[in-house]
Amino acid sequence: MPGRFVYWMNVSLDLRIEHAEDEQGGGSWMRIGESLHHEFNARARALSLMVQGRTIYETMEGFWPRARDDASLPGFLREYGQIWTSMPKVLVSRTRTSAEHNTRVINADDAVGALADLRARTEGDIGVGGATLATALLRAGLLDELLLFTHPVILGAGRPLFDSHDEPLELDLLEQVRFDQGVTLHRYAVRGSRA
């Protein structure tokens, strides 16, 4: 059975992933406590691999490799640093040709075909990070699931979950979990994704 692309993001109630430009997943509007981070760790550990766009990758690369060995950080953050650095990853980029931390790079201009092949050769869930990348997979019919951690805030402006998409997207709810501070996990199957 082929792998499944799972777009994993923190979102506001109005499905924004950033409020300010270049917030890079660290907006003060997010309510990420210890119990939620333990969930991130468990979900990330269960992935077969991660596929990330350049912006998300460079955000992760800038923090998690150092965090894994930083004794001043809580254990759950060091654990995520270990998971991220050791997890097989694919970086999709037009500008980078190399990366460290168990990462191979594919050119964004040829990404959809290469990722379709990768999906066919991979068993299990493939985490997807980045709106541009997720939108390209969605348009190609290759996005299988959404894993949304919804924070109880309405941002009103900022980067949306997907770039422009002009067709209705039908989903089936697979899972729902509530965490501290009003954050909820919603996992959806995307109807019509190509097997």
* Cβ atoms 101, 61 nearer than 8 A: yes
pTM for the whole structure: 0.93
DSSP letter, residue 94? S
d(C-alpha 80, C-alpha 38), whole Å:
9
Helix ranges restricted to H, the chain: 34-45, 54-61, 64-67, 75-86, 111-121, 131-139
Distance CA 42, CA 54 (A): 24
Tell me the sheet residues that pair with 177: 185
Q: How confident is the model at residue 195 (pLDDT cuts 50, 70, 90)?
A: low
Could you tell me which residues come within 8 angstroms of residue 72 by beta carbon, excluding any fewer than 6 positions away?
none
What pLDDT score does 165 carry?
75
Chain center to CA of 7: 5
Q: What architecture does CATH give domain 4-190?
A: 3-Layer(aba) Sandwich (3.40)
The band of 23, judged by pLDDT with boundaries at 50, 70 and 90, is: low
User: At residue 182, does pLDDT exceed 80?
Assistant: yes
> 15 phi and psi, to 5 degrees?
60, 45
pLDDT category at 22 given cuts 50, 70, 90 is: low
